[in-house]
Structure 1
Amino acid sequence: MVLYFSGTGNSAYAAKRIGAAIKDEAVDLFERIRSQDFSEMHSGKPWIIVVPTYAWRIPRIVEKWLKKTQLTGNSEIYFIMTCGEDIGNAGKYLRELCAGKALAYKGCLAITMPENYIAMFSTPTQEKAGQIIRQAEGAIDRAAGLIANGEAFPPQAITLKDRMNSGIVNGLFYPVCVHAKKFYATDACISCGKCAKVCPLNNVHLENGKPVWGKDCTHCMACICRCPREAIEYGKHSRGLPRYTCPKHL
C-alpha cells in the first residue's frame, strides 16, 4: 500500500504514479493526520511511504503518525522523499523508526521535484516546474520498478554535511523557523476558506472572513500556495514569487 502526505502535490503525484505502476492503492494521509486517526492499517503488499522533505528528514507530523499507527500484514517498508535538492541523512532516522516498529527497512530514495518552500526559497515558473517534473518521472518509474521486483533501494553516500543537516540543522529548524507568525492575508482575499480546508493541522480558521493562523504549523505551504487568489503572503519574502502546486495533481 502506498501512503502519502503532500502539501502542494509533489508527493501526491509521485505516490499515485508509483501506485499505478505497481497496481497498488495510493492512500492520502491528510485526513488521518488532521483528525489524529492512529487506527491500525493492514496491507498484504509492502508499505511505500511517499512524503516531502522538511529540513532533510520526513515531516515530523508524518513521523508522529507512523510511530503511533500499527501497520500490519507485510512488514517491508520503502520510503520515497520528494525534495528540492537532497534528503541528507534521512535514512538514519528512518532505519531507527523502522527498528522500533519491527518493520523491514527497504531503503529511502530521493526524488527531485519543484521547490515549494516559498517561506525561504524561490519557487519555479510553470515552465521550469514542468521541466523538473518530466525529469523526475524517470526516477519515479525506476523506484516503482525496484519495488515491483522486491529490491531494496540502493544506499546513498553520506557526507558530514548530510549528517549535520539531518541532525543539528533539523533540530534547529522546527523551533526557529516553523511557525505561522509571518502568514497574513491581503485585501485580495475572497473569504473562500480554502486555506483552512487544506491545513493538515487545523491551524487556520476564519475570523470576520479573513484567515487567522494558530501556533500549530508544519510549514507545508498548502495555505499560501493553494490560495485561488494568491492572497496569502509570508512576510516580505513571498511577495512577487509564483505560487507552486504540482500541475499534474491539483
Structure 2
Amino acid sequence: MILYFSGTGNSEYAAKRIGKEIGDEVTNLFERIRNHDFSAMRSDRPWVIVSPTYAWRIPRILHAWLEKTALSGSREIYFLMTCGGSIGNAEKYLKKLCSSKNMNFSGCFPLLMPENYIAMFSTPGREDALETIRLAEDHIDNAARLIKGGKKFPQSHLTVKDKINSSIVNDIFYPVFVHAKKFYAADSCISCGKCADICPLGNIHMDNGKPVWGEDCTHCMACICRCPKEAIEYGRHSMGLPRYICPK
C-alpha cells in the first residue's frame, strides 16, 4: 500500500504514478493526520511512504503519525521523498523509526521535483515545473521497478553537510522558522474558506470572512499555493512569486 502526504501535489503525483506502475492501492493521509486518526492499517504488500522533505527530513507531523499508527501485514517499508534539492541524512531517522516499529527499512529514494517552499525560495513557472517533472518521471518509474522487484533502494552518498542539515539545522529550523506569523490575506481575498479546508492541521479559521492562522503550522504551503485568488502572502518574500501546484 502506498501512503502519501502532500501539500502542493509533488508527492501526490509521485505516489499515484508509483501506484499505477506497481498496481497497488494509493491512500492520501490528509484526513487521517488532520483528524488525529491513528487507527491501524493493514497491507499484505510492502508499505511505500511518499513524502515531501521538510528541512532534510520527513515532516514532523507525518513522523508522529507513523509513530502512533500500527501498520500490520507486510513488515517491508520503502520511503520516497520529494525535494527541491536534497534529503540530507533523512535515512538515519527513518531507520530509527522503522526499528521502533519492528519494520524492515527498504531504503529512502530522493526525488528532485519543482521547488514549492515559497516562504523562503523562488517557485518555478509552469513550463520550468513541467520540465523538472519530466526529468523526474524516469526516476519515479525506476523506484517503482525496484519496489515491484522486491529490491531495496540504493543508499545515497552522504556528506558532512547532509548530516548537519538533518540534525542541527533541522532542530533549529522548526522552532525558528516553522510558524504562521507571516501569513496574511490581502484585500483580494474572497472569503471562500479554501485555505481553512485544506490545512492539514486545522490551523486556519475564518473570522469576519478573513483567514486567521493559529500557532500549529507545518509550512506545507498548501494555503498560500492553493488560494484561488493568490490572495495569501508570506511577509514580503512571496510577493510577485508564482504560486506552485503540481501541474500534473
TM-score, normalising length: structure 2 = 1.00
What is the letter of the counterpart of residue 138 of structure 1? D
Partner of 2:100: 100
3-state SS of the aligned residue for 2:228? coil
Gaps of 5+ in 1: none
Rounded to whole Å, the distance in 1 between the matches of 2:51 and 2:197 is: 20
Partner of 1:133: 133
* 1:203-236 deviation digits (Å, cap 9, x = unpaired): 0010000000000000000000000000000000
Residue correspondence of structure 1 range 152-231 to structure 2 within 5 A = 152-231=152-231
Partner of 1:8: 8
What is the letter of the counterpart of residue 163 of structure 1? K
Rounded to whole Å, the distance in 2 between the matches of 1:221 and 1:172 is: 20
What is the letter of the counterpart of residue 59 of structure 1? P
Partner of 1:29: 29
* 1:21-48 deviation digits (Å, cap 9, x = unpaired): 0000010000000000000000000000
Partner of 2:90: 90
* 1:133-174 deviation digits (Å, cap 9, x = unpaired): 000001000000000000000001111000000000000110
Rounded to whole Å, the distance in 2 between the matches of 1:191 and 1:144 is: 41
What is the letter of the counterpart of residue 196 of structure 1? A
Rounded to whole Å, the distance in 2 between the matches of 1:156 and 1:240 is: 36
What is the letter of the counterpart of residue 31 of structure 1? E
1:236 aligns with 2:236: yes
Partner of 1:61: 61
Displacement after TM superposition at 1:56 (Å) = 0.2
Segments of 4+ in structure 1 off by > 2 A? Answer: none
Rounded to whole Å, the distance in 1 between the matches of 2:139 and 2:157 is: 18
3-state SS of the aligned residue for 1:155? coil
Rounded to whole Å, the distance in 1 between the matches of 2:18 and 2:205 is: 34
Rounded to whole Å, the distance in 1 between the matches of 2:194 and 2:156 is: 39
3-state SS of the aligned residue for 1:206? strand
Displacement after TM superposition at 1:124 (Å) = 0.4
Partner of 1:79: 79
Rounded to whole Å, the distance in 1 between the matches of 2:34 and 2:151 is: 33
* 1:106-145 deviation digits (Å, cap 9, x = unpaired): 0000000000000000000111000000000010000000
What is the letter of the counterpart of residue 172 of structure 1? I
Count matched residues.
248
Displacement after TM superposition at 1:75 (Å) = 0.3
